[in-house]
A and B are shown apart, each in its own frame.
Chain A
Amino acid sequence: MSFLSRIAIITAALASVSGCSIIYKSTGWVVYDLTDRHITPYTMTVDDFDVACSTTQGLQPLIMAFTRVTSTPDRASLIMNMMSGSCAEVDAAEHSLAYIRAFKAQNIDEAKDARIREKRGYAIAAARQYKAYQHMVHEFGEPGGKKCPSLSKDDGVYWALGNLAGLQAVMSDLRAQSVVNVPKDIAMKTVRGLQCLDNQEFWGLPLAAQAGLWILMPDTAPEGVDPWVEMAAAARGGSDSGVRLSHAVEVAIADGSGHQEHVRDAIRRHAASLKVDKPSRDYQLLDLAASRQVLAVSDRLWTEGTGSRTPVGALGTFWDDEKKSAAPSLSIDDLLED
């Protein structure tokens, strides 16, 4: 009797005595384990943002279906929801560009429609990011309290991402005009939560979040501390580690608080870093997601300025930069004169 036939007979025998539940359960735990140990860590190494988007959104219902017979894989759910939230953010940003173009063309109906699509996109993003945050809370407890949870390096990655997802959820919900009603106090809690992590080990992200708060609420900064200097230091941590989430935080904070020169400077530094600092092998997807967020802001600025997004290869430049000609302009008459 072949091996496969034996497996089939055993499976049939098990099913006949216990129904299908035992098979589902054992399969569920296999999927749970596989997801936790391999799929999630592998996903973080993916070097293609769009593939990660499609895969996450496609696999999410399948993996989550097994929670009916096993426990909820909080860590995997955190990553999947955060990723699918980023995908929705990318869609929303696309609609915001359509809004700007329609507005420039004075096509008000189209502009209004694009703005509605943008808000809907951010509402979807907020709901997903909030779920990611809730999975983090379920796994480790609520951030921002007096004590930090005990975190291994691996735990720290999920803690960092869960807290970041919480911050993103608040921002996305605000952009959606609060239709999801994400509790706004999450923002402060997550900034404190991120301080449980070593700044250098976690890509400058804790310092970026802290500096962001100081920029938005200057009176909360310790005396003598320049929040922008701290933010730039955090960004350097992102460059050095190849996980440039702190760059995305810097651009988001500068953009949100209306500091346009800081926005441009941060985008320039991000683009320069992409040329010289290699992305982290283990967390390449996080680096890509951060870059997408920076590109989204650059695209918005370019579209406002010129009507179209950042030209290919032009991230880090702006349409009104002074043109530096390679050769000096000479007078033809002077040259032809004997």
Chain B
Amino acid sequence: MRKLLCVTALAVSQLTFAAAEERKFCIYDPLGANGNLYGLMKEYREFAIQQNVNIHLRAYTDEKIASDDFKAEQCDAVMLTGARARPYGKFASTIEAIGAVPTTSVMRSLVNTISQPGAAKYMVTGDRYEVGGVIPAGPIYLFVRDRSVDTVEEMSGKRIATLEYDEPSVKMVNHIGASIVPSNSANFSGKFNNGSVDIAYAPAIAYSPLEMYKGIGTKGGILRYNLAYLDFQVLLHKERFPEGYGQKSRLYVAGLFDKANAFVTQDTAGIPETTWIDLPKADVEKYNEMLRQVRITLRDEGVYDATMLTLLRKLRCRENPAEGECVENLE
């Protein structure tokens, strides 16, 4: 009898393996299949196979094509930046809201919170899309060719390399009276380095590989102020995955936070201390307030998700309850 049970169990396990669903996961990594994100997603395959999903990875170095292939259902899952993920989930894409995530600890709390089963209802968009996890990629900073340009007033009239597909970026540049120079992730650094623009915004990871120190030279610098928090999101065509897969995926991806954050820490440490420009506390408070107003405007215009903004405000206030925004509760 025991033998029979063993044989049956073995047969069932073989059957389960044989029935593993084959799914295609398209990954945008600026460094392609050699990049750290792609490497992290190789480990994600191990998680997926345990959910009976056999994932095949494909690298993309062009984010727009990755997004288009996902939309056209050429990919069952995709990894995109938060800004590109907007059409697939307003709630999660609002994580990249301007000035909304000031520290890595707020980002960590956020990722843990939205990965819990209670948050599942916010991570699904209609019947089609589901966010299967969020990976941190670090704060976005302003890179300036002239370090005397360290106030919003001085940025007025300056040329800023702006991601044209990202509506909030366009609004923000217009808000401060600077001029937009349409750019993308592949050409903004060239424009900054050759002086076609005065200012660019980018995460720390861009500094060394894209040689942004060339544009900074001896006169420029990087403002030590988190404009937004870059993240990568795993997006799923919901119906292509087993019931409950998305939730398990979010929990697994949340567990990759420290590994991903270690890359951010390493890249940030690679920027010389003298390159950083520290802003006076009064300016920081002024800009926090300015960005809050922009967020509220964009929320009212339907660009940002109100629930996510509220969640982010509460997480910021848990860390810093004395802030004025914690009394006003405008978000």
A residues at B contact (CB < 8 Å): 103, 106, 108, 111-112, 115, 171, 174-175, 177-178, 181, 183-185, 187-189, 216-220, 255-258, 260
On chain B, the residues within 8 Å of A175 by CB distance are 34, 39
Say yes or no: B36 contacts A174, CB within 8 Å: yes
Say yes or no: A177 contacts B39, CB within 8 Å: yes
Which residue in A112, A187, A218, A257 is a CB contact (below 8 Å) of B209?
A187
On chain A, the residues within 8 Å of B331 by CB distance are none
On chain A, the residues within 8 Å of B35 by CB distance are 174
In the complex, how many residue pairs between chain A and chain B have their CB atoms under 8 Å apart?
A: 76
On chain A, the residues within 8 Å of B42 by CB distance are 115
On chain A, the residues within 8 Å of B17 by CB distance are 106
Other 10 A-B pairs with CB < 8 A, given A106-B17, A256-B61: A103-B46, A185-B211, A188-B211, A217-B186, A217-B187, A218-B186, A220-B186, A220-B187, A256-B32, A258-B33
| B48 to A: closest C-beta gap in Å | 11
On chain B, the residues within 8 Å of A188 by CB distance are 209-211
| A211 to B: closest C-beta gap in Å | 14
Which residue in A108, A183, A257 is a CB contact (below 8 Å) of B61?
A257
Known: A175-B39, A183-B270. A258 touches B58 (CB 8 A): yes
Say yes or no: B50 contacts A108, CB within 8 Å: yes
| A202 to B: closest C-beta gap in Å | 24
| A102 to B: closest C-beta gap in Å | 10
CA distance A103 to B33 in the complex (A): 18
CA distance A181 to B33 in the complex (A): 18
| A145 to B: closest C-beta gap in Å | 11
| A212 to B: closest C-beta gap in Å | 11
CA distance A218 to B31 in the complex (A): 13
Q: Please, which residue of chain A has its CB at the minimum distance from the CB of B30? A: A216
- Interface range for B: 20 to 34
Q: Does B86 contact A (CB under 8 A)?
A: no
Say yes or no: B186 contacts A219, CB within 8 Å: yes
CA distance A187 to B210 in the complex (A): 9
| B209 to A: closest C-beta gap in Å | 4
On chain A, the residues within 8 Å of B20 by CB distance are 106
Say yes or no: A108 contacts B46, CB within 8 Å: yes
Q: Does B60 contact A (CB under 8 A)?
A: yes
On chain B, the residues within 8 Å of A255 by CB distance are 33
Q: Please, which residue of chain A has its CB at the minimum distance from the CB of B47? A: A108
| A3 to B: closest C-beta gap in Å | 59
Say yes or no: A103 contacts B49, CB within 8 Å: yes
On chain B, the residues within 8 Å of A178 by CB distance are 36, 263, 266
Say yes or no: A258 contacts B266, CB within 8 Å: no
Say yes or no: A181 contacts B266, CB within 8 Å: yes
| B14 to A: closest C-beta gap in Å | 10
Known: A185-B208, A188-B211. A258 touches B46 (CB 8 A): no
On chain A, the residues within 8 Å of B187 by CB distance are 217, 219-220
Interface residues of B in 26-54 (CB under 8 A from A): 31-36, 39, 42-43, 45-46, 49-50
Interface residues of B in 237-294 (CB under 8 A from A): 259, 263, 266, 270
Q: Does B21 contact A (CB under 8 A)?
A: no
| A282 to B: closest C-beta gap in Å | 31
| A164 to B: closest C-beta gap in Å | 16
On chain A, the residues within 8 Å of B61 by CB distance are 216, 256-258
Q: Does B223 contact A (CB under 8 A)?
A: no
CA distance A175 to B46 in the complex (A): 17
Which residue in A174, A189, A260 is a CB contact (below 8 Å) of B31?
A174
Which of A111, A175, A218, A258 neighbours the largest number of chain B CB atoms within 10 Å of its CB? A258
| B23 to A: closest C-beta gap in Å | 14
Q: Please, which residue of chain A has its CB at the minimum distance from the CB of B13? A: A106
The 22 listed contacts between A and B (C-beta, < 8 Å) are A103-B45, A108-B49, A108-B50, A112-B46, A115-B42, A174-B31, A174-B34, A174-B35, A175-B34, A177-B39, A177-B263, A178-B263, A181-B266, A185-B208, A185-B210, A217-B187, A218-B186, A219-B190, A256-B31, A256-B32, A257-B61, A260-B58
Q: Does B62 contact A (CB under 8 A)?
A: yes
| A103 to B: closest C-beta gap in Å | 7
On chain A, the residues within 8 Å of B209 by CB distance are 184-185, 187-188
| A230 to B: closest C-beta gap in Å | 17
Q: Does B59 contact A (CB under 8 A)?
A: yes
Q: Please, which residue of chain B has its CB at the minimum distance from the CB of A255? A: B33
Say yes or no: A258 contacts B59, CB within 8 Å: yes
Say yes or no: B59 contacts A184, CB within 8 Å: no
CA distance A315 to B305 in the complex (A): 53
Known: A112-B46, A115-B43. A171 touches B34 (CB 8 A): yes
CA distance A271 to B329 in the complex (A): 67
CA distance A175 to B36 in the complex (A): 7
B185-197 interface code vs A (CB 8 A; 1 in, 0 out):
0110010000000
